[in-house]
Chains A and B, each alone.
Chain A
Amino acid sequence: MKIHLLLFAGAAEVAGTSDVTMEVGQAATIGELRGKIVDEFPDLGPIVGRSMFALNETYVSDDAAISDGDEVACIPPVSGG
């Protein structure tokens, strides 16, 4: 199944893109996706390790299951304000 991955700020800069379509296995979790992102973009390892993830605009933990067509966002430590 395919998911839509959003990258922001320093993560987007390192990856050279802010928007990636990724193929993941059935019943994949956010934790598994972390590994897959780093496989595809090895330079993202450090920042992905420090990031939260959001599934369809809601923060989730690593055991959250991903469904086909989901929008997944990698949220590095925020610095608004």
Chain B
Amino acid sequence: MIKLTKDTIDYHQLVEEARGNAFGAVVLFLGTVREMSEGRRVDALDYDAYPPMAEKELRGVVDEARQRWPLGEVSVIHRYGHLDLGDIAVAVVTASAHRAEAFAGAQWIMETIKERVPIWKRENWSDGSARWVHPQSAPTNDHDHP
């Protein structure tokens, strides 16, 4: 399953869906809302997204991961809207015959999401101020390669 959602992510269900007799390894990554960001206390995050394009880019990222590693089931769910501390912002599940491919695939999918999928977070700090996060390093232009 690949999607953006405003609902709580049921990672238990994702993991169960990924399990299968062909796979000796299932990796689950959860990205959760952390209290401290660059030394400042965060109360909450708000995510903006371009949902149809984000889902399309997520599918592309997963397709590309499948070309790099022999992966079985792969799920990526990213939330948008308002998230509180500790909430799950993103879940990635990869299943493979062996653990190395499942770990590598999940890590690469996460890194690539952070480079190219049109989703943005705003940090709402405990002092009442807020800031959209737009990293200084530009997104890669490397969008076309398989």
Contacts and interface: CB of A to CB of B under 8 A. Distances in A.
Interface residues of A, number: 22
B138 A8 contact: no
Interface residues of B, number: 33
Interface of B: 31, 47-50, 52-54, 56, 78, 89-90, 110, 113-122, 132-139, 141, 143
B120 A76 contact: yes
A81 B34 CA distance: 12
Interface residues of chain B: helix, strand, loop or mixed (majority): mixed
A59 interface: yes
A79 B133 contact: yes
B138 A80 contact: no
B40 to A, nearest CB: 15
A9 B90 contact: no
B114 A76 contact: no
A80 B50 contact: no
Given A59-B143, A73-B53, A81-B89, A8 B118 contact: yes
A13 interface: yes
Contact of A12 (B48, B78, B121): B48
A13 B130 CA distance: 11
A36 to B, nearest CB: 20
A77 B56 CA distance: 18
Interface residues of chain A: helix, strand, loop or mixed (majority): mixed
A69 interface: no
A6 B53 CA distance: 12
A19 B118 CA distance: 16
A58 B118 CA distance: 11
23 contacts: A8-B118, A8-B120, A9-B48, A10-B132, A12-B48, A54-B53, A57-B50, A57-B52, A57-B53, A57-B56, A58-B56, A59-B143, A61-B141, A77-B138, A78-B139, A79-B120, A79-B132, A79-B135, A80-B114, A80-B118, A81-B31, A81-B78, A81-B110
